[in-house]
């Protein structure tokens, strides 16, 4: 009898999901999912803001059909177990796991969730507890923290849902067809040593970080961010300056740091960012990097990484996400300097450099007659422009760390790893000259250039000086916008 | 197998010629960046036009209804709405079949009664009947603009099926080629650059008039009326672009916005939808 019941339940669940939930969300609401590829293949807890009965179905449909049997939204048993209709649609149709919201003495209501996670299931959890006021993200209850502590190493996927609070908010029975957006964040783990409340607070911050910027009030448009690029042949100095600047500028306004990982900083301090949403996929640059095996600094994955960084920089242009953008390197400056350094067995004179600047920044296209030269000398630039992969913006402040090529080589050798083909004294000297040449070209374009000697570098003092320059530029930008 | 009408072939050929240019130009970035998305939207629009002119009316009007629903949904997704506007928004959706029925019957009089008198007067009542809160006039403007453009104006594509055969394709080809020069030079915007967009508008009128005159005989219309209709389409599309720009600016939405590019649809669809009533009424009232 029980087997028959289980078969009926399973049949109803799949029929409900495939015949109703998925088609309706796709065709009636037209749900959009962003970064679905980041979903882990194994068990995890999906955590989202909660404003509507559409939230759980939306999160279920993020996953491929083959996995939905393993996914359980956690639902309030006292509410959804009340009537036969709710029991059928939610507990059976949505495969929900009911938990009591008020615990009996000596009983842990969250234990079934912990057990399910340990058994390899994926749980959908709304830490706010109930749907709340539309558009308002309430505090996250510490229950989510307790679960994370109980299952050390469990992956938590933050998700921000928008649109459902307008389509079917609490207290409304008529669902309106309005677009639904599901913004999926990077899965991460939390230390089980932390307090459950702190974990809940951190997860809430991760969910909120995925929220789209609200449309600003009518009036002057937001000021574009002030961009700082830390460049030069001394990678360690660049990195230290990048970290110090990102942290320091965070105190003056939200700052995004673009390096191999994206950082963000504000009054709460420096941390790893959940990422900047990008409109275009990274598959094309990856495929091009793999197929064409571009030469020079941007060989293989480095090329795809450079394109991604340029796109992140582009996406921040509207000024709504960040007031300052700090880059460890700059795709534009680096490409120009490497071009100038004669790495591609040719040379760019001053005029050539100006021209290259226009090509790299996307202000001018590479004439067809020049294609052969660019494919040979600067394949990255050619790929970037011909496939319109990105338009790297120029920095407002270029921080150039200089040091003599000999000591730079000593530092590279001291790492103890095999040297790359370009890591030699002669080339580093040329590269340094390239950076200086690029700096002089950028100076003519009224870009602030701060030159620092890497061997005599006081990071804190330098960061303070550059911060003052950035704040002045930010103020100038704001005044310019107000004056329009 | 029935012969494919000449205008259908010309429309398909126009798309096939313009598309590669749009994609290549799109790679140059700047103001050309939106061209690939624009031509993709036109390809979808062409499918709708072919369906309306060639398929059985039950199928084609159902498709038109679905397109109107999706467009209205996109519009309301972008637009800020108050919770108490729900009934008015629902009525706006229900107005789609109400507008399609007179369109299917080929009666503009009935469409006027259903949309202008029925909806435009009913929606303010629905917005006023709920507990009063500030922002009524704003909400009214938002809901009525949606109904006006995406229901009333869009319903004219259905009415065009009652015009002489080929009129829909004539509209499609002329509107596509009228839109192109304005896209290439940039649109007229208050406070923006003047000379180049004006050249674009002039080129748009000339191209649309020439194309209209050349193709009108295939739609059983005199060349002169085809030329005037082309000019009217070009001017109406410039007006529609101004409206879409202003609406997007008012909503502070751009293509790279956090709404996953939803705002782009306003820019791509509104000008052509805006031009449909001008073209239909010109051909119906003057040319015939």
More reliable by pLDDT, A260 or B72: B72
Percent of chain B clearing pLDDT 70 (strictly above): 91
- Tens of pLDDT along A60-110? 999 998 888 899 999 888 777 788 888 888 888 888 888 887 777 777 888
A327 phi and psi, to 5 degrees? -120, 135
CB A327 within 8 A of CB A309: yes
Question: Over chain A, what is the mean pLDDT?
Answer: 82
Judged by average pLDDT, the poorest of A79-83, A187-191, A340-344, A402-406 is: A340-344
pLDDT in tens, A40-58: 988 999 999 988 889 999 9
Return residues 45-104 of B near A (CB < 8 Å): 69-70, 73-74, 76-77, 80-81, 83, 86, 89-90, 93
Residue B25's Cα: distance from chain center in Å?
24
Higher pLDDT, B1 or A169: A169
Taking the CA of residue A484 and the nearest CA in chain B, the distance in Å comes to 11
Pair of tokens at residue A450: 């701060």
Do B90 and A279 lie within an 8 Å CB cutoff?
no
What is the pLDDT at residue A326?
92
Predicted confidence band at A369 (pLDDT cuts at 50, 70, 90)? confident
pLDDT of res. A130 = 79
At A416, the pLDDT band (50, 70, 90 cuts) reads confident
Output A300 or A354, whichever has higher pLDDT: A354
For residue A217, the model assigns a pLDDT of 47
pLDDT of residue A409: 85
Angle at A48 between CA A47 and CA A49, to 5 degrees: 145
User: φ and ψ at A231, to 5 degrees?
Assistant: -125, 170
Residues 6+ apart with CB under 8 A from A120: A42, A43, A70
Domains of chain A listed by start with CATH number: 2-208 (3.40.1130.10), 226-483 (3.40.50.300)
What is the 8-class DSSP label of residue A190? -
In whole angstroms, what is the distance from residue A390 CA to residue A468 CA?
30
Residues of A in contact with B25 (CB under 8 A): none
Give mean pLDDT, residues A240-256. Answer: 89
- pLDDT tens sequence across A98-126: 888 777 777 788 888 899 999 999 999 99
Residues of A in contact with B253 (CB under 8 A): 215
pLDDT at residue number A484: 47
Share of chain A above pLDDT 70, in %: 89
pLDDT digits (tens, 9 = 90+) for B149-166: 999 999 999 999 888 888
User: What's the pLDDT at A278?
Assistant: 63
Q: What is the mean pLDDT of residues A169-173?
A: 82
Q: State the Cα–Cα distance between residues A339 and A352, nearest whole angstrom.
A: 10
Query: Can you state the percent helix, strand and coil of chain A, rounding each to 5?
Result: 50, 15, 35
Instruction: Give the pLDDT score at B260.
Output: 42
Q: Which of A134, A181, A365 sits opposite B83 (nearest CB)?
A: A134
Distance between CA atoms of A64 and B249, rounded to whole angstroms? 38
Nearest to A61 by CA among A51, A50, A75, A46: A46
Q: Quick check: A342 pLDDT over 60?
A: no
State yes or no: pLDDT of B185 exceeds 70.
yes
The residue among A304 and A201 whose pLDDT is bigger is A201
Handedness of CA A137, A139, A143, A149 (dihedral sign): positive
3 state SS of A19: helix
- Span B192-205, pLDDT tens digits: 677 888 898 999 99
pLDDT of A280 reads 62
B73, B250, B258 member nearest A179 (Cβ): B73
The complex's ipTM works out to 0.73
Question: Cβ contacts of residue B229 below 8 Å, gap of 6+?
Answer: B170, B174, B212, B216, B221, B279, B282, B283, B287
- A37 — pLDDT class (breaks 50, 70, 90): confident
Q: Give the per-residue pLDDT at A61.
A: 92
Instruction: Indicate if the pLDDT at residue B48 is higher than 80.
Output: yes
Task: Give percent of chain A above pLDDT 90.
Answer: 13
Q: Which DSSP string corresponds to chain B?
A: -PPPPHHHHHHHHHHHHHHHHHHHHHTT-GGGTTHHHHHHHHHHHHHHHHHHHHS-HHHHHHHHHHHHHHHHHHHHHHS---GGGHHHHHHHHHHHHHHHHHHHHT-HHHHIIIIIIIIHHHHHHHHHHSPP-S-HHHHHHHHHHHHIIIIIIHHHHHHHTTSSTTHHHHHHHHHHHHHHHHHHH----TTS--HHHHHHHHHHHHHHHHHHHHHGGGGT--HHHHHHHHHHHHHHHHHHHHHHHHHHHHTT--TTSTTTTTTHHHHHHHHHHHHHHHHHHIIIIII-
pLDDT-based confidence at residue A388 (cuts at 50, 70, 90): confident
> A30 — contact with chain B (CB < 8 Å)?
yes
pLDDT tens per residue across span A212-230: 765 544 445 567 889 999 9
**pLDDT band at A277; cut points 50, 70, 90:** low
d(CA B220, CA B158): 19
Q: What pLDDT sits at residue B153?
A: 92
Higher pLDDT residue, A180 or B188? Answer: A180
Beta strand extents in A102-143 (DSSP E only): 122-125
DSSP A156-175: EEEEEEESHHHHSBTT--S-
Contact flag B259-A213 (C-beta cutoff 8 Å): no
CB contact under 8 A, B258 and A277: yes
E strand or H helix at A465, and its extent? Answer: helix A459-483
Residue B210: pLDDT above 90? yes
Q: Does B112 touch chain A (CB under 8 A)?
A: no
Give the model's pLDDT for residue B3: 61
Question: Sorting pLDDT into bands at 50, 70 and 90, what band is A282?
Answer: low
Q: What are phi and psi of A383, to 5 degrees?
A: -60, -40
Task: List chain B residues with CB under 8 Å of A177.
Answer: 69, 73, 76, 93
């Amino acid at each position: 009898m029980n087997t028959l019941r289980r078969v009926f339940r399973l049949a109803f669940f799949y029929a409900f999901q495939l015949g109703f939930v998925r088609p309706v969300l796709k065709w009636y609401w037209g749900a959009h999912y962003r970064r679905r590829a980041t979903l882990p293949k194994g068990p995890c807890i999906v955590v989202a803001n909660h404003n509507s009965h559409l939230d759980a179905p939306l999160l279920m449909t993020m996953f491929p059909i083959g996995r939905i049997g393993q996914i359980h939204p956690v639902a309030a048993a006292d509410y959804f177990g009340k009537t036969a209709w709710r029991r059928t649609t939610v507990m059976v149709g949505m495969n929900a796991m009911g938990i009591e919201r008020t615990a009996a003495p000596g009983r842990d209501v969250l234990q079934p969730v912990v057990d399910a996670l340990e058994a390899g299931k994926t749980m959908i959890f709304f830490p706010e507890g109930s749907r709340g006021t539309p558009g308002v993200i309430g505090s996250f209850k510490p229950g989510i923290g307790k679960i994370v502590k109980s299952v050390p190493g469990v992956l938590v996927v933050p998700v921000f849902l928008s649109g459902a609070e307008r389509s079917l908010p609490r207290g409304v029975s008529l669902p309106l067809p309005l677009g639904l957006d599901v913004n999926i964040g990077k899965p991460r783990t939390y230390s089980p040593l932390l307090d459950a409340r702190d974990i809940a607070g951190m997860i809430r911050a991760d969910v909120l970080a995925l929220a789209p910027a609200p449309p600003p009030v009518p009036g002057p448009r937001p000021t574009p961010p002030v961009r700082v690029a830390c460049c030069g042949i001394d990678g360690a100095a660049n990195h230290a300056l990048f970290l110090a600047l990102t942290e320091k500028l965070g105190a003056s306004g939200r700052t995004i740091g673009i390096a191999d990982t994206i950082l963000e900083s504000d009054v709460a301090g420096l941390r790893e960012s959940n990422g900047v949403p990008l409109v275009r996929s990274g598959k094309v640059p990856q495929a091009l990097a793999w197929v064409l095996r571009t030469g020079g600094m941007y060989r293989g994955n480095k090329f795809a990484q450079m394109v991604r960084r340029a796109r992140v920089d582009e996406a921040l242009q509207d000024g709504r996400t960040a007031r300052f953008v700090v880059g460890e390197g700059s795709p534009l400056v680096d490409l120009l300097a490497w071009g100038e350094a004669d790495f591609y067995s040719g040379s760019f004179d001053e005029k050539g450099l100006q021209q290259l600047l226009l090509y790299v920044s996307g202000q001018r296209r590479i004439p067809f007659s020049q294609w052969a030269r660019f494919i040979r000398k600067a394949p990255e630039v050619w790929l970037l422009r011909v496939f319109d992969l990105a338009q790297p913006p120029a920095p407002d402040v270029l921080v150039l760390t200089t040091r003599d090529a000999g000591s730079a080589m000593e530092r590279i050798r001291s790492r103890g790893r095999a040297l790359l083909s370009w890591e030699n004294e002669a080339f580093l000297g040329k590269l340094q000259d390239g950076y200086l040449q690029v700096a002089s070209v950028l100076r003519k374009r009224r870009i602030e250039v701060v030159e620092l000697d890497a061997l005599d570098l006081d990071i804190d003092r330098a960061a303070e000086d550059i911060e003052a320059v950035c704040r002045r530029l930010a103020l100038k930008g704001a005044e310019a916008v107000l004056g329009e | 197998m029935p012969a494919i009408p000449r205008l259908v072939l010309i429309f398909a050929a126009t798309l096939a010629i313009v598309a590669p240019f749009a994609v290549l130009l799109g790679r140059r970035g700047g103001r050309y960046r939106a061209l690939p998305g624009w031509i993709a939207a036109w390809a979808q629009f062409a499918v709708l036009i072919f369906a309306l002119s060639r398929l059985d009316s039950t199928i084609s009007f159902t498709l038109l209804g679905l397109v109107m629903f999706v467009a209205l949904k996109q519009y309301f997704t972008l637009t800020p709405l108050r919770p108490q506007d729900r009934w008015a928004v629902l009525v706006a959706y229900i107005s789609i079949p109400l507008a399609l029925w007179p369109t299917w019957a080929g009666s503009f009089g009935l469409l006027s009664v259903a949309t202008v008198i029925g909806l435009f007067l009913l929606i303010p009542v629905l917005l006023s009947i709920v507990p009063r809160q500030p922002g009524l006039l704003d909400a009214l403007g938002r809901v009525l603009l949606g109904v006006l453009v995406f229901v009333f104006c869009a319903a004219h594509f259905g009415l065009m099926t009652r015009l002489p055969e080929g009129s829909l394709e004539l509209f499609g080809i002329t509107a596509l080629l009228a839109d192109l020069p304005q896209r290439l030079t940039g649109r007229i915007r208050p406070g923006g650059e003047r000379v180049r967009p004006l050249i674009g508008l002039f080129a748009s009128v000339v191209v649309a008039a020439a194309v209209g005159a050349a193709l009108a005989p295939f739609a059983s219309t005199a060349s002169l009326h085809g030329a005037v209709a082309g000019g009217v389409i070009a001017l109406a599309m410039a007006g529609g672009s101004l409206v879409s720009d202003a609406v997007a600016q008012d909503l502070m939405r751009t293509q790279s916005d956090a709404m996953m590019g939803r705002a782009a649809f306003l820019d791509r669809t509104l000008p052509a939808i805006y031009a449909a009533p001008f073209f239909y009424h010109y051909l119906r009232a003057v040319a015939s």
